[in-house]
Amino acid sequence: MMPVTFTLNGKPVSLDIDPDMPLLWAVRDEVGLTGSKFGCGMAQCGACTMHVDNEPVRACSVPVGSIAGQKVTTIEGIKGKVAQAVQTAWVKHEVAQCGYCQSGQVMSAVALLSANQKPSDADIDEAMRGNICRCATYVRIRAAIHDAAKSVRA
Ligand code: FES
Ligand code: FES
């Protein structure tokens, strides 16, 4: 065990924790924020996607000790114009089906639109290809991202 301090959704967090524990478990089990989901545990599905210093990461495969001092954002903490546009578009296009993958999908979409406010279909496919949806909501995800991009540019 060792103390690990980082910023989570804008607030300082200090955990006395095994530094090898995946960030996903630290946030879900130690902090109690459960919006980020466990899918594969092998950085293959994207259900656990969080932002670390504004970049999307697979939190199931990032040791919490490695993000000490960094800024972590989860689905519970996203805010601002891009996040609002994505959430609004997700509702408008009724993207979610079972919903399990959607926290990760939204986090990846917000990261994409924060970096590129006019993504092509190819840009979207590239940014989102690590986010698997067993319900195959991909067409609605793409439509919602294009719609959100328009709102961000307006
Ligand atoms: S649970 Fe992390 S990528 Fe699948
Ligand atoms: S909405 Fe069910 S897995 Fe994506």
Superfamily of domain 2-73: Beta-grasp domain (3.10.20.30)
Q: What pLDDT is stored for residue 2 in this prediction?
A: 95
pLDDT tens-digit readout, 74-97: 999 999 999 999 999 999 999 999
Residue ranges in the chain whose pLDDT is less than 50 = none
Q: What is the DSSP letter of 22?
A: B
Q: What pLDDT is stored for residue 65 in this prediction?
A: 98
Q: What pLDDT is stored for residue 72 in this prediction?
A: 98
Q: List where CATH 1.10.150.120 sits in the chain.
A: 81-153
Q: What pLDDT is stored for residue 147 in this prediction?
A: 98
* Sheet with strand 49-52: strands edge to edge: 11-17, 2-8, 71-73, 49-52, 55-58
CB 149 within 8 A of CB 94: no
Ligand 2: which residues within 6 Å by Cβ?
A: 96-102, 133-135, 137
Q: What pLDDT is stored for residue 43 in this prediction?
A: 98
Helix axes 102-115, 121-128, angle to 10 degrees: 130
User: Quick one: which atom of ligand 2 is closest to the CA of 96?
Assistant: 1
pLDDT tens-digit readout, 19-34: 999 999 999 999 999 9
Asked: is 81-153 a CATH 3.40.50.300 domain? The reply is no
Q: What pLDDT is stored for residue 49 in this prediction?
A: 98
